[in-house]
């Protein structure tokens, strides 16, 4: 309020041109703040609801009107949710899968995406179309053949089906994303490097990869989020209890005849917080500070 007043008075007393531009910028900034904050309220709403539910008793979950600030807070929901299913033992599996996937997806999609963006070869467009097409068939109908292949390889009930495929190109989505990023870089980059005697791999690793940092960061974050949250493939390929991932364990909270919503939410919040921290601290990779 005080700030708006001062800008208004400033506008009245001084009619200097740059000054009024400045005040415009200030009001613009304030407007941006207001819009962003209002939007943020909408965006954070689901999370607040989850958080509040995770501290409720069983009976409060469906109370009407809704209880937003449960009194007293049911802290015990957290230890309860996390001991009913031993999340800490599943954390190791999840962490292994997520870290390997981030590494595999960034490296291999950068390699393949670079080739699709900046190398000339006959049949390249055909291969690219084939790459895209591999995303167009719903995975429900390729589930059984995949299972058979992994069984023949002896990979079922190991973490391998969840890790090794990401090293093989890192998924068409990521390859396509890398390709698009490499295409936005100026065309003369490699020519200069070739003249300097770099080989193709050297150009890729020493010149191109550093320039592709925002894209690599984006892919790393997406891969982190999707493999952290993925329950379906672990569900199909993992059998033994000790191989379970956290997302799969979370899935068990939904039962046939009703859901223990308060425990589900406590477990969901626990799963969400590491992702928030990772996203918060990783943004500087793809956004300049």
Partner 1 sequence: MRMRFVSVLALVLVLSFAVVGAGSAQTVVRYAFWGNPSVLGVEEDIIKAFEAENPDIKIEPIATPYGDHHTKLLTMVAGGDAPDVMRVDSYFFQDFVERNVLLNLDPLAEGPDGIDVKEYYPIAVADSIYEGRLYGLPWGSAPYYVFYNKDMLSSAGLEFPSTSWTQEDLLLYGQKLTKGSGMNKTYGVQADFGYVGILPWIWNNGGRLFNDERNEFRLHEKAAAEAIQWQADLIHKYEIAPSTVDMQGFTANDWFLTNRIGFVYGMADSALYLRQGDVDFDVTIHPAGKAGQWTVWKANTVGISATTQVREAAWRFLKFLLEPGGKGEAMYTGSQRVPPNTPLAEMWDLYADPSMPPASLNEITNVIGDGHAKELPLRKGWNDIERKVVEYLQIIQLGEMTALEALQMAKPEVDAIIRRLDR
Partner 2 sequence: MAFHKSNRNSLARQEERLFYLFISPWLLGFLVLTCLSMAASLYWSFTEYDMLTSPKWIGLENYQSAFSGFDSRLFWQALKVTLIYTFSSVPLQLVGGFLVAILMNQQIKGINVFRTIYYLPSITAGVATAMLWLFIFNPQFGILNWLLAQVGIEGPAWLASRKWALPALIMMSMWGFGGPMVIYLAGLQGIPQHLYEAAKIDGANAFKQFLYVTIPQMTPIIFFNLVMSIIGTFQVFTSAFVMTAGGPVNATLFYVLYLYREAFQSFRMGYASALAWVLFIIIMIFTGIQVKLSGKWVYYEGIR
Q: Which of 88, 151, 206, 213 binds partner 1 (CB under 8 A)?
A: 151
Distance of CA 47 to the CA centre of its chain: 16
Q: Which of 4, 6, 134, 242 binds partner 2 (CB under 8 A)?
A: 134
What residues between 223 and 262 interact with partner 2 by CB under 8 A? 225, 229, 247, 250, 254, 259, 261
Pick 1 or 141: Cβ nearer partner 2: 141
Q: Report what 193 binds from partner 1, partner 2, none; CB cut-off 5-8 Å by kind.
A: none
Q: Which of 17, 62, 201, 280 binds partner 1 (CB under 8 A)?
A: 62
Residue 22, interface with partner 2 (CB under 8 A)?
no
Residue 59, interface with partner 1 (CB under 8 A)?
yes
Q: Report what 185 binds from partner 1, partner 2, none; CB cut-off 5-8 Å by kind.
A: partner 2
What residues between 116 and 145 interact with partner 1 by CB under 8 A? 143-144
Q: 285 Cβ partners below 8 Å, 6+ apart?
A: 213, 214, 216, 217, 220, 221
Residue 264, interface with partner 2 (CB under 8 A)?
yes
Q: Which of 210, 256, 280, 288 binds partner 1 (CB under 8 A)?
A: 256
């Amino acid at each position: 309020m005080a700030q708006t007043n001062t800008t208004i008075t400033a506008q009245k007393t001084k009619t200097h041109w740059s000054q009024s531009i400045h005040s415009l910028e200030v009001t613009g900034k304030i407007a941006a703040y207001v819009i962003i904050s209002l939007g943020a309220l909408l965006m954070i709403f689901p999370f607040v609801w989850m958080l509040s539910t995770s501290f409720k008793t069983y009976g409060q979950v469906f109370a009407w009107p809704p209880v937003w600030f449960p009194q007293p807070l049911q802290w015990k929901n957290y230890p309860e949710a996390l001991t009913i299913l031993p999340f800490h033992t599943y954390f190791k599996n999840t962490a292994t899968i997520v870290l390997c996937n981030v590494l595999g997806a960034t490296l291999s999609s950068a390699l393949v995406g670079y080739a699709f963006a900046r190398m000339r070869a006959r049949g390249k467009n055909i291969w690219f179309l084939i790459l895209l097409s591999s995303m167009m068939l719903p995975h429900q109908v390729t589930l059984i053949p995949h299972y058979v292949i992994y069984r023949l390889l002896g990979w079922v009930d190991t973490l391998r089906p969840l890790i090794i495929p990401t090293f093989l190109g890192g998924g068409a989505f990521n390859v396509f994303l890398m390709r698009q990023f490499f295409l936005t870089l100026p065309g003369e980059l490699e020519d200069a490097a070739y003249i300097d005697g770099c080989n193709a791999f050297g150009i890729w690793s020493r010149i191109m990869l550093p320039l592709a940092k925002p894209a690599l960061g984006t892919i790393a974050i997406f891969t982190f989020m999707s493999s952290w949250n993925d329950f379906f493939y672990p569900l199909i390929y993992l059998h033994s209890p000790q191989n379970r991932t956290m997302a799969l364990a979370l899935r068990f909270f939904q039962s046939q005849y009703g859901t223990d919503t308060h425990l589900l939410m406590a477990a969901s919040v626990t799963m969400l917080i590491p992702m928030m921290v990772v996203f918060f601290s990783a943004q500087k990779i793809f956004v300049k500070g």
